[in-house]
Amino acid sequence: MKVPFVTKDQLEAIAAQYPTPFHLYDERGIRENARRLRAAFAWNPGYREYFAVKATPTPAILKLLKEEGCGCDCSSLAELIMAERCGITGEDIMFSSNETPPEEFQLADKLGAIMNLDDFTLIEDLERATGKIPEKVCCRYNPGGVFALGETREGFQVMDNPGDAKYGMTRAQISEAYRVLAAKGAREFGLHSFLASNTLSNEYYPVLARMLFQLAVELKEETGCRVTFINLSGGVGVPYHPDQPENDIAVIGEGVRKAYEEILVPAGLGDVALYTELGRFMLAPYGHLVTRAMHEKHIYKEYIGVDACACDLMRPAMYGSYHHITVMGKEHAPCDHKYDVVGSLCENNDKFAVDRMLPKIDRGDLLVIHDTGAHGRAMGYNYNGKLRSAELLLREDGSVDLIRRAETLEDYFATLVW
């Protein structure tokens, strides 16, 4: 059972000041999770979490995570600027982009970010844009094929298709990239790879780590280049369904440690720093989309219309993703009504739930849509002229801060030329 991190009374008080819909984040949950992650990898002295800014590009969140020792994984000009304005610069930024324009390389270089090159041809693009190759550089690896863990002890199958992904270099390309970069002045090298999204398995990171650790040993032998860091990227997921298993980050960290000691240490690479780039794991469970039931419709199905729409959370519309819904004040009522919970867009996929069994919903009820702290408001848009909602931070002392105001019609019309 998923339990909201706020009560109905708290939400009604918040909604009296900040009208629904809005995204609400839990400071206490975010901080405690960041500390669990850091503890899981404390055995590696160089460990650093580079929070994936694309998941939740909100300054208050980035500053909060900075206080917990996290850097930023940026992939665009705007994300670089946001990181800088939050006081995050230098090697606290990992710049992992693809199809990169010159101005993004130039700003990343100016900020002193670690460059993570997605493609062999970007070596030339980076050199042309900045006039040099940095001494510390990373390359993104794509092993191709299909990645699968099979049935894990959690009973969950992990499968993804790296060979169909646009990211990363082939095995031959990454070896050649190291040689070329070394010839152009690079002295410290990193490896990065991302094989599967939102995995619910304690085995994913250790399996990925073994692959990258072995590759690091091979590249050291082939090229003589000094591998100083390995970035395990993201992919550690969260259970969107109440009955799904939850990752144990301590177990995951221990699995990676074992692989590290078995592969890297004997090869003379026992000083390699480990990095992660977790967005969903860091934030998703600690965000709610709060919306109010506005309308009932009784035709071939039963519909509940809410004041949020896919512009506030597009994952269900885009991917068919499940997000759990709590009807506030009715947490213990029987789920004996079948509803489609829908927004007001002129699109039939604007649905937060389809044929969902829920308690009876009345107009005015507050609904919490769970696990929206990552890839929630970040993926919002303005179709049908909808305005993107506010973001609020529930502080540890129970107070609430407005951390991004809701858009206005003036914002929407500001870029138009009449």
**Would you name the residues annotated as active-site residues?**
346
Sign of CA dihedral 223, 176, 273, 114: positive
Looking at the DSSP assignment, which residues form a beta bridge with residue 151? 157
Looking at the DSSP assignment, which residues form a beta bridge with residue 357? 338
Of 78, 118, 26, nearest to 392 by C-alpha is 26
Of 352, 279, 390, nearest to 55 by C-alpha is 279
How many Cα atoms within 13 Å fall on the side-chain side of residue 239? 14
Bridge pairing between strands 325-327 and 366-369: antiparallel
Q: Cα–Cα distance between 132 and 269 in angstroms, integer?
A: 27
In sequence order, what E strands does 142-244 have? Answer: 147-151, 157-160, 188-192, 227-231
Q: Cα–Cα distance between 74 and 203 in angstroms, integer?
A: 27
What are the angstrom distances between the C-alpha of 399 and each of 5, 13, 146, 374, 395?
A: 13, 11, 47, 22, 5
